[in-house]
A = this chain, B = another copy of it.
Amino acid sequence: MDNSMDNMQVCETTCIHEDIVNRVKDKLPDDETIYKLSEFFKVFGDKTRVKIVSALIDSEMCVCDIAYLLNMSQSAISHQLRVLKNSNLVKNRKEGKVVYYSLDDEHVKDIIAQGIVHITHKGRGE
Interface residues of A (CB under 8 A from B): 4-5, 8-11, 13, 15-17, 20-21, 23-25, 27-29, 33-47, 49-51, 54-55, 58-59, 61-65, 67-69, 71-75, 88, 97-98, 104-105, 107, 110-112, 114-119, 122-123, 126
Q: How many copies does the complex hold?
A: 2
Residues of chain B within 8 A (CB-CB) of A69 are: 21, 24-25, 28
Q: Is the CB of A68 within 8 A of B118?
A: no
Q: Is the CB of A10 within 8 A of B51?
A: no
Q: Is the CB of A29 within 8 A of B54?
A: yes
Q: Give chain B nearest CB distance to A55 CB in angstroms.
A: 5
Q: Give chain B nearest CB distance to A119 CB in angstroms.
A: 4
